[in-house]
Amino acid sequence: MGRLVMKFGGTSVANIDRIRNVARHVKREVDAGHDVAVVVSAMAGKTNELVDWCGDASPMHDAREYDAVVASGEQVTAGLLAIVLQGMGIQARSWQGWQIPIKTSDAHASARILEIDGTEIASRFKDRKEVAVIAGFQGINPQTNRITTLGRGGSDTSAVAIAAAIRADRCDIYTDVDGVYTTDPRVVPKARRLDKIAFEDMLELASLGAKVLQVRSVELGMVHNMPVFVRSSFDKPEDIDPHGTPPGTLICSEEEIMESHVVTGIAFTKDEAQISLRQIEDKPGVAAAIFGPLADANINVDMIVQNVSEDGKTTDLTFTVPAADYNRARETITAAKGKIGYARLDSATDVSKVSVIGSGMRSHAGVAAKAFKALSERNINIRAITTSEIKFSVLIDAAYTELAVRTLHTLYGLDHT
């Protein structure tokens, strides 16, 4: 007997039949004697529909009312799943974020969880063996008593935070894939599903393009040392042994992984744009003049490369921003031209970032050098490079993305045989 949090995404609860399938997964764990809390997303496509309604009502709508509208999708799913579970003879009730309560900051549409009181849910496990069906993605700001939402993918964050609050043994994230792969199997058919991956590696994968989990949920798992198990909701519930280990990927602390590879996976994103400023006066304060206005505009800057000045007078500086922020970034830099003092602005939107991630890099030299050599042999030009302790990223022309990913995947022995 243990205590589990089970999270189901939008495709897993897309209609009543899918919700019944979810209920069978929950019943399996309840019948095995586990205390179960379930966190659900809105039905597939429902959040997009609600967001569009807000935009149609008014392009400049109140963010507080936006949250009140979009949070309703999860409320519907939670109520429907509770009804289905009750029809199967299982004690269950639905919970909205404010009822628990899940206390958050007041940053509407992108709130952060501050505190969760899991006392009532835990006591109902003990007294009633009641399944808690919780609407994900939402909470309440204690100062304003307004409903808040956590941003896209926020149900993953809700699930891990609730698991920590009720001291669960594990948080199972059910999704439309059966685990975390070494890279996107649609790009590299030889990609392997990982049995285990360290929190740090998963955090890098999630932040660098892998769409399996929201970054914040991985951060919370790492902070609270809460094991997170990514598995498929499309496996038949009756075929799974609740006491065994089903197919999937366990995200856990590095100490729990007996045999770690130098490279864990390859992530990539095509949503990048490059901006280069030419012949900037090489003097103190120039970097602040460039990146200060971008920060004020809430534009995240990723890769930064500055050329060494030959004459000590001028230099070139290149950086990347998300493609969605490209136009705003150009306008921001252009508006600050007088203060920065550059001669020319060059840019490119047909670029992508490919990242190699692995905790094993800490103790192995030459990992990046191998990649640079392999890419050069494929005539793939590297525009920029960034590194950290457990990953490095290269910026390349978007047309070569898939070739680069396949080349590096094979280079580091990640192909299945």
List residues forming the annotated binding site: 7-10, 47, 74, 175-176, 181, 186, 211-212
Q: HEC string of 157-197?
A: HHHHHHHHHCCCCEEEEEECCCCCECCCCCCCCCCCECCEE
Residues near 116 by beta carbon (within 8 Å), at least 6 away in sequence: 100, 101, 102, 103, 161, 162, 164, 165
Which amino acid makes up residue 160?
A: V
Give the residue numbers of the binding site for ATP: 7-10, 175-176, 181, 186, 211-212
- Residue 248 CA to residue 392 CA, distance in Å, equals 26
Task: Of 249, 133, 174, 228, give the one whose Cα is nearest residue 18.
Answer: 174
Task: List b or e across 222-231, with b for residues whose CB sees 16 or more CB atoms inside 10 angstroms.
Answer: beeebbbbbb
- Residue 135 CA to residue 155 CA, distance in Å, equals 8
Cβ pair 261, 292 in contact under 8 A = no
HSE-CB of 383 using CA atoms within 13 angstroms? 25
Residues near 158 by beta carbon (within 8 Å), at least 6 away in sequence: 7, 39, 97, 102, 113, 134, 136, 137, 138, 139, 150
Cβ pair 137, 155 in contact under 8 A = yes
Reduce the DSSP state of residue 369 to 3 states and report it: helix
Give the residue numbers of the binding site for substrate: 47, 74
Cβ pair 126, 167 in contact under 8 A = no
